[in-house]
């Protein structure tokens, strides 16, 4: 999991970005901020998903070819049963969607290069379309089995075709596992995807929660900073220093789970890393004054 240090550093970055004069407000900025901040992690996750698709779909071409081979016999049986029109239409829809499914997966494979440092928008769109198509196929297979249950006398005649439909449905389940691994906690095949996705989501939630709390109390925090810095408004403080001070002041005043000394020391380190030459001294002095005047018991 991400460390507390990484959570605080990313929170500082967001507070800084949301505080730029004339910039977007925090709510509008959030998605764009995460797209940029987690870009490399998202690229790694997307690569892992495409690789998993390639691995888990081995043998699918053989099953698809089998479905096509058995199509004519199934169609002949259904043509002899005009009342089974809905079942016949469902069969044809499955054939059409299965063909699109295979073509879409082949397209994803051609676009994917594991050596690329970025994921192209075209590959992202093809992958999204592929997942959507897979869900559509799952629903159409359900409809096929539903219609087939209305004609028990056709079960034996359509058994070869139906068996292949079921075998392809198992492939679709694997794709669903790759798309949303968190919905399949018992599947070890996608545990690496589940862990990576969970890590990104948890980190995002931690930072969002922290920055939301800080921004909700921003006016109170800024008032304390203004009272502590004689004749010096928060708006005149270096933007990075201001973000660090807002975070640490929030922790000192409102977060009893963190010892004030820890908050102050971490803020000083952040100031050394991201601020100016004088930032650490300025942050140190101001936070000690805040602590003395406003720390919770």
What is the DSSP annotation of 275-291?
A: S-TTHHHHHHHHHHHHH
Question: How far is it, in rounded angstroms, from Cα 221 to Cα 227?
Answer: 10
Least confident range from 124-133, 183-192, 228-237: namely 228-237
Say yes or no: 135 and 57 in one domain: yes
Do 124 and 35 meet the contact criterion of CB atoms below 8 Å apart?
no
- 194 within domain boundaries: no
Look at 21-30, 45-54, 169-178, 252-261 and tell me which has the smallest mean pLDDT.
Answer: 21-30
Task: Judge if 44 and 175 occupy the same domain.
Answer: yes
Q: Is residue 230 part of a domain?
A: yes
211 and 239 belong to one structural domain: yes
Average pLDDT over the chain, rounded to whole? Answer: 90
Q: At what angle do helices 260-274 and 279-294 cross, to 10 degrees?
A: 160
For residue 21, name the pLDDT band (cuts at 50, 70, 90): very low
Tell me whether residue 240 is in a domain. yes
Of 203, 227, 220, 236, nearest to 289 by C-alpha is 227
Q: For residues 197 and 191, what is the distance between their CA atoms, to the nearest angstrom?
A: 10
Name the most confidently modeled range: 3-12, 156-165, 235-244.
Answer: 156-165
Phi/psi of residue 213, each to 5°? -65, -40
Q: Does the residue 222 lie in any domain? A: yes
Q: Note whether residue 288 is domain-resident.
A: yes
Amino acid 25: pLDDT: 63
Report pLDDT digits (tens) over 245-292.
Answer: 999 999 999 988 889 999 999 999 999 999 888 899 999 999 999 998
Same structural domain, 94 and 160: yes
62 and 142 both lie in a single domain: yes
- Residue 19 has a pLDDT of 77
**CATH classification at residue 243:** 1.10.940.10
Of 21-25, 40-44, 58-62, which gets the smallest average pLDDT? 21-25
Is residue 198 domain-resident?
no
Provide the pLDDT for residue 297.
46
Is the predicted pLDDT of residue 108 greater than 60, yes or no?
Answer: yes
Number of domains in the chain: 2
Minimum mean pLDDT among 180-189, 208-217, 285-294: which range?
285-294
Distance of CA 208 to the CA centre of its chain: 14
Q: Model confidence over 152-169: pLDDT tens digits?
A: 999 999 999 999 999 999
Same domain, 9 and 89: no
DSSP of 13-82: HHHHHTTSTT---HHHHHHHHHHHHTHHHHHHHHHHHHHHHHHHTTTHHHHHHHHHHHHHHHHHHHHT-G
The verdict on 163 and 47 lying in the same domain is yes
Q: Which contacts of 254-257 are long-range, i.e. CB under 8 A and separated by 24 or more positions?
A: 254/213, 254/217, 254/296, 256/296
154 within a domain of the structure (yes/no) = yes
Cα(225)–Cα(267) distance, integer angstroms? 15
Handedness of CA 246, 252, 257, 260 (dihedral sign): positive
Same-domain check for residues 59 and 165: yes
Residue 94 has pLDDT above 70, yes or no: yes
Q: In whole angstroms, give the CA distance from residue 13 to residue 36.
A: 11
Q: State whether 159 and 68 are in the same domain.
A: yes
Distance CA 250, CA 210 (A): 9
Same domain, 174 and 223: no
| % of the chain residues with pLDDT over 90 | 73
Please indicate, yes or no, if residue 185 is contained in any of the structural domains: no
pLDDT reported for residue 22: 46
Q: Which domain holds residue 211?
A: 4-24+205-294
Q: How many CB atoms lie within 10 A of CB 56?
A: 17
pLDDT at 59 over 90: no
* pLDDT of the residue at 296: 53
pLDDT of 194 reads 95
CB atoms within 10 A of CB 188: 8
Q: Are residues 175 and 218 in the same domain?
A: no
For residue 137, the model assigns a pLDDT of 96
In terms of domains, do 53 and 140 share one? Answer: yes
Distance separating alpha carbons of residues 55 and 175, to the nearest angstrom:
11
């Amino acid at each position: 999991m991400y460390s507390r240090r990484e959570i605080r550093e990313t929170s500082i970055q967001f507070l800084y970005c949301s505080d730029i004069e004339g910039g977007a407000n925090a709510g509008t900025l959030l998605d764009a901020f995460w797209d940029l901040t987690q870009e490399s992690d998202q690229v790694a996750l997307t690569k892992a998903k495409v690789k998993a698709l390639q691995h888990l779909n081995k043998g699918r071409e053989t099953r698809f070819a089998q479905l096509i081979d058995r199509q004519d016999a199934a169609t002949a049986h259904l043509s002899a049963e005009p009342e089974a029109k809905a079942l016949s239409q469902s069969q044809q829809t499955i054939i059409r969607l299965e063909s699109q499914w295979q073509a879409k997966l082949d397209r994803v494979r051609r676009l994917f290069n594991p050596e690329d440092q970025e994921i192209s928008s075209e590959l992202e769109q093809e992958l999204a379309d592929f997942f959507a198509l897979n869900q559509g196929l799952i629903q159409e297979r359900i409809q096929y089995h539903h219609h087939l249950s209305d004609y028990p006398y056709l079960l034996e005649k359509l058994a070869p075709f139906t068996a292949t439909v079921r075998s392809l449905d198992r492939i679709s389940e694997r794709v669903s596992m790759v798309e949303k691994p968190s919905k399949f906690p018992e599947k070890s095949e996608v545990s690496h995807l589940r862990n990576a996705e969970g890590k990104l989501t948890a980190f995002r939630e931690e930072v969002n929660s922290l920055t939301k709390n800080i921004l909700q109390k921003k006016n109170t925090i800024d008032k304390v900073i203004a009272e502590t810095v004689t004749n010096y408004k928060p708006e005149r403080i270096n933007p990075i220093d201001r973000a660090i001070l807002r975070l640490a002041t929030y922790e000192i005043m409102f977060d009893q789970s963190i010892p004030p000394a820890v908050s102050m020391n971490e803020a000083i380190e952040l100031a050394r890393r991201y601020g100016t030459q004088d930032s650490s001294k300025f942050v140190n002095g101001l936070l000690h004054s805040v602590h003395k005047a406003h720390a919770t018991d």
